[in-house]
A = this chain, B = another copy of it.
Amino acid sequence: MSFDSINAGAAGRLVPVELAKAYRLLNHGPVTLVTSAHAGRRNVMAASWAMPLDFQPPKVAVVIDSRTLTRELVEASGEFALNIPARVQAAATLESGSRSGREQDKFAAAGLTTFAAKEIAAPLVAGCLGWLECRVIPEPANAARHDLFIAEVVAAWADSAAFSNGRWHFPDRECRSMHYLAGGAFFATGEAFQVEPGASE
């Protein structure tokens, strides 16, 4: 599937996110799916340890264990994508965090389909709510010491049903981002509320 033919799960709803607001896809701490590809191999891995690191140019930090196929593909390609899955993809998210891509095609095992990214070779996961295409800023000491990868966000996209004008606005129970605890336990992103500056005074 080509990028322009759009995310199968959100036909016609895939919209670009301006880079200065890309951090907002990740700011609330959702679980992510890290996708990667190199030399004909590709993989997907769940990651909760991902966060924004800068606004403009937007950067992210993510922890990628040294024993994973994802690590091998990210180090070889210098690229990855952070996909923000919807609650309806919770089982697939857990699945992609529980096995190694060396043993099987994890996309197929988890029932995930993909479409092509615009700036990187790693595929994007269809049906997600947001996508950050990332190019690694090489920092061998962080990788070696902490399994930590820092990357610049070079393109960002969202399902406009859930995110537009720099804001999340989850339309229903299933079309929400998730937060991961441990052992298969998740939280849905919950009630939105607004606080006005000075409200505590």
Contacts and interface: CB of A to CB of B under 8 A. Distances in A.
A180 interface: yes
B194 A191 contact: no
Given A28-B180, A48-B27, A59-B146, A194 B190 contact: no
Nearest to A176: B190
Contacts of A111: 200-201
B197 A181 contact: no
Interface stretch (A1-9, A10-18, A73-81, A87-95): A87-95
Contacts of A61: 51, 61, 146, 148
A53 to B, nearest CB: 6
A197 B52 contact: no
Nearest to A26: B29
Question: Is chain A's interface secondary structure helix, strand, loop, or mixed overall?
Answer: mixed
Nearest to A60: B49
Interface size classification for chain A: 35 or more
A39 interface: no
Interface of A: 24, 27-30, 48-54, 59, 61, 63, 87, 90-95, 98, 109-111, 141-142, 146, 148, 150, 166-168, 176, 179-182, 184-201
15 contacts: A24-B181, A28-B48, A28-B180, A28-B187, A49-B53, A61-B61, A90-B193, A91-B195, A93-B195, A95-B199, A109-B200, A168-B181, A179-B189, A184-B196, A187-B191
